[in-house]
Structure 1
Amino acid sequence: MLQEFKTFIAKGNVMDMAVGIIIGAAFTAIVKSLVDDLINPIIGLFTGGVDFTNNFVVLGGDGTAYASLAAAREAGASVFAYGAFFMAVFNFLIIAWVVFMLVKAVNRAKEAAAKEEAAAEPAAPAGPSELDVLLEIRDSLKR
């Protein structure tokens, strides 16, 4: 069983997946910084500085007003954190768009390499056409 496990781990696709997960985690940090540090401040300019992550509604409770979502959660209040959800969806859409653009660029590069490779291959030598072969057979049968 240990040998089977070693064989499984040594397969290229498992290693590729591991590398992809590690790079994906690092990429997520970059996109999170992009959203938090660059895009959200621009959105804040248009919305009057509203921080969407702190938009929430306290469900039930005694009517206590909380200064932030963190304060409400710390107090144990049941909250409907629609702002945090909105930002999570927004982050996902940005990550998905960037990954889409990266995949599109990689596919274009692969297609260009395939075209160059196909152009570099010499054309197959042209043999006699089907008509030439049939004419040759006809002439052979006439003799």
Structure 2
Amino acid sequence: MLKEFKSFIMTGNVVEFAVAVIMAGAMGLVINGFVADIIMPIVGQFSGGVDFANLKIILTETSGVEGEAGYIPENAIRWGAWVNTIVNLIVVGLVMFFIVKAYNKTKTPPAPPAPKGPTQEELLAEIRDLLKKQ
């Protein structure tokens, strides 16, 4: 059983999949940083200097001091963070679109089908007709 597992784990597909997962995680970090540090400040600037990450609808205010008895933390709908997530999704989708498009360009197009010639019956009929003329 251990040999079977080792054989399974060492196949090319599993190793390639593991590399793809690690690369996707790294790519996600890069894209999150790009959205948070570059795209959202630009969007905020065009929307009047708003920082979307801090926009929220407060349902319950903070009450008391953190760590003491009777402390009630703030309860809020953080819709600005949700907007950041949507922008992040759009950027990830756009990046993936360009990656797939570039990958598809590297593929060689399928060879065009060979031109079809006459069928065997047509060739036999042509030979028959030529023999009749002789």
Deviation per CA, 1:6-27: give whole Å up to 9, x if none.
1221222211211111111121
- Are 2:105 and 1:114 equivalent residues in the alignment? no
Mapped partners of 1:137, 1:8: distance in 2:
61
1:1-143 correspondence runs (5 A): 1-59=1-59, 61=60, 63-64=61-62, 76-110=73-107, 113-115=108-110, 118=111, 129-130=118-119, 131-136=122-127
SS in 2 for 1:58: strand
Q: What is the aligned length?
A: 123
AA paired with 1:136? Answer: I
Report the Cα distance in structure 2 between the residues aligned to 1:17 and 1:114, rounded to whole angstroms. Answer: 26
- State the one-letter code of the partner of 2:88: N
Q: Judging by fraction of residues, say which structure has more helix.
A: 1
Match of 2:67 in 1: none
Structure 1 residue 138, shift from structure 2 partner: 6.7
* Cα distance between partner residues in 2 of 1:24 and 1:5: 25
Seq. identity, %: 35
What amino acid sits opposite 2:24 in the alignment? G
2:20 and 2:7 map into 1 onto residues whose CA distance is: 20
Q: CA deviation at 1:76?
A: 2.4
The answer as to whether partners of 2:35 and 2:88 remain within 8 angstroms in 1 is yes
| Structure 2: distance between partners of 1:42 and 1:14 | 40
Distance 2:21 2:62 in 1: 43
Tell me, yes or no, if the aligned pair for 2:36 and 2:84 is still in contact at 8 Å: no
Q: How far is 1:137 from its partner?
A: 5.4
Give the C-alpha shift of residue 114 in structure 1. 3.2
Q: C-alpha offsets along residues 58-82 of structure 1, whole Å, 9 cap, x if unaligned?
A: 22x3x459xxxxxxxxx62222111
State the secondary structure of the residue aligned to 1:114. coil
Q: Secondary structure at the match of 2:48?
A: coil
Q: Which runs of 5+ in 2 are unaligned?
A: 64-71
Structure 1: runs of 5 or more not aligned: 66-74
Q: 2:13 and 2:131 mapped to 1: Cα distance? A: 58
**Pairwise CA distance, 1:139:** 6.9
Q: What's the TM-score, normalizing by structure 2?
A: 0.73
- Provide the secondary structure at the position in 1 that maps to 2:28: helix
Q: CA RMSD in A?
A: 3.0
